[in-house]
Structure 1
Amino acid sequence: MAEIDPFSEGPLFPLLAVGMCFVGCLLGVLSLKRARRGPTVLARVRWVVLGALALGGTGAWATHFVAMLGFAVAGTPIRYDGPLMLLSVGVAVVASGLGLALLAGGGRTLLGVRATLAGTVVGLGVAGTHYGSMAALHLHAVLTVDRAMLGAAVVVAVSGSVIALWTSVAQQGRMFVTIAALCQAAAVCGMHYLLIAGTSAELTEATGPLPGGVSSDLGEPLLLGLSVVTVVALILVVTAPDAREEQEERRVLARLAERSGGDPWTEALGPGTGSSRPSSHGGRAAAEDDR
């Protein structure tokens, strides 16, 4: 058996991975909050897509990739399969998008059931991302994973995701947003390092160059792109009006309507804009989700 060292470069990459994981998970939770109070289907879809990129791209895949930069197997170099890396990114983003979409609408109807289903989808997506990324490794060794550790890692990923998503939609306030992001980050990081701890490597007799490229060939450009998406998501989340601001805007428009006897959106924005008035459902969603 060859020695596996997940911290071959010291604590830098693990700490960076944990930090990226928390930021991605936090943005995913906040995007879900915004999606749930979106006044239109299109607005909810935009926030779900942004949340999927943040949660699946940065929170799951980028975390795994950065952590793997410190991964080493004694006696063999490591190369990466580009198509499989792209596939692992897609798995993470699609699974996260499906999970967030399950909770983006519907208010509190069957909230516990939907949160459980959404968390299961996200957790399995996180596990699938890790599996795809590990399958993308080329090295002069055969990697095997202990089944008990694999089962424990999947349980951690799914249960942590369920708790995180339920907390993000069932509870109110910044403290619970932070708790939800921490739970999701713990699910991702816990699953990753449990699987690494349960992985063993046996060197093969093969020699010569390995197929694939080094991390800088594809992984680092992907990581740069996800970093840009994360910054954009952060800007959008920070600059988006919170629930109190939206409620205050609705109160102002209601007072305008009382005084004018007409459509408050027409009074405030001019003719031809009345059809863009937010629905009462959007008001109720904003009242439910205190940001």
Structure 2
Amino acid sequence: MGHLDHATFGWLTPLLSYVMACMGAALGLRCTVRALGATGRSRRNWLVTAASAIGTGIWTMHFVAMLGFGVSGTDIRYDVPLTIVSLLVAMAVVCVGVFAVGYGKDRARALFLGGLTTGLGVASMHYLGMAAVRLHGDVSYDPVLVALSVLIAVVAATAALWAALNIKSPVAVTIASLIMGAAVSSMHYTAMFAVSVHVTPSGTALPGATAMQFIFPLAVGLGSYLFLTSAFVALSPATGEREASASAQRPAASAAR
């Protein structure tokens, strides 16, 4: 058996991955709140932004955490196409979940469907990401912990979508995103504890890219995307603010006449 280390860099990767998950969640919730206050194309755009933010946040969280994943007795490589597929799956599935909530007529049903879809999507993204791991040996999973990680993912996703529908104040959004970040992180580490690796030492080169060659630049790129989008969303006026400033300008304009 290979000894698994989930934090080869100490607290750095778990902490950084948690921050990424929270950022994605906060941005996603804020965009969903905006979407519910908008109509037509604007609503659709906000929902797509929300989905890409949450999807990116979860994926970045997973792979930043994976930077700290090491197995004694073998190197680790990542299958590049499969890793990218896992990112697309994360975004697509979160998109379905967010749209179910954004356009659902019956709130309870929309929440259930959205939460289930998004949760299963997060879990499938995680296990696809794990399937992209290449090492000398065999990877096996504890089915009970796998089931638990999927359950955590579904509950976390449902709670996050519920928060998006019911929470408007910035303080509440912050608290909800901290909780969601914790839920996503706990899902990740539950799933990681389900892993056991039977190492078969080998001198042959592993296919794929190292974490630093591939995962690190991608995580930095997506992290920057999250940060810039957050800044953009924070600075763009909400519908209420826009109407308030427009009505404030009207009397001023008529007074100037």
TM-score (norm 1): 0.81
The correspondence for 2:149, drawn from 112, 130, 153, is: 153
CA contact (8 A) 2:115 2:158 kept: yes
Aligned to 1:45: 44
The 10-residue stretch of structure 1 (216-225 or 85-94) with the greater mean CA deviation from structure 2: 216-225
Tell me the amino acid that sits aligned with residue 100 of structure 1. V
Map 1:242-261 → 2, pairs under 5 A: 242-249=238-245, 251-252=247-248
The correspondence for 1:76, drawn from 71, 74, 77, is: 74
Cα root mean square deviation, aligned: 2.0
Q: CA deviation at 1:110?
A: 1.4
- Between the aligned partners of 1:198 and 1:85, the Cα distance in structure 2 is 20
Tell me the amino acid that sits aligned with residue 164 of structure 2. S
1:236 aligns with 2:232: yes
Q: CA deviation at 1:113?
A: 1.6
Q: CA deviation at 1:201?
A: 0.7
Aligned to 1:98: 96
CA contact (8 A) 1:163 1:183 kept: no
Unaligned runs of 5+ in 1: 260-291
- Between the aligned partners of 1:45 and 1:224, the Cα distance in structure 2 is 27
- Between the aligned partners of 1:98 and 1:10, the Cα distance in structure 2 is 36
Aligned to 2:29: 29
Q: Which has the higher contact order (CA 8 A, sep 6+)?
A: 2
1:202 match: secondary structure: strand
Map 1:49-60 → 2, pairs under 5 A: 49-57=48-56, 59-60=57-58
Aligned to 1:121: 117
- Between the aligned partners of 2:201 and 2:238, the Cα distance in structure 1 is 60
Q: What's the % identity of the aligned pairs?
A: 34
Q: CA deviation at 1:253?
A: 8.1
State the Cα deviation string for residues 145-177 of structure 1 (Å, max 9, x = none): 101001111111101110121122123323331
Map 1:274-285 → 2, pairs under 5 A: none
- Between the aligned partners of 2:137 and 2:162, the Cα distance in structure 1 is 41
Tell me the amino acid that sits aligned with residue 79 of structure 1. R
The 10-residue stretch of structure 1 (69-78 or 116-125) with the greater mean CA deviation from structure 2: 116-125
The structure with more radius of gyration: 1
The correspondence for 2:195, drawn from 195, 199, 207, is: 199
Q: How many residues align?
A: 253
1:2 match: secondary structure: coil
TM-score (norm 2): 0.91
CA contact (8 A) 1:29 1:51 kept: yes
Q: CA deviation at 1:247?
A: 4.3
The 10-residue stretch of structure 1 (228-237 or 135-144) with the greater mean CA deviation from structure 2: 228-237
CA contact (8 A) 2:153 2:187 kept: yes
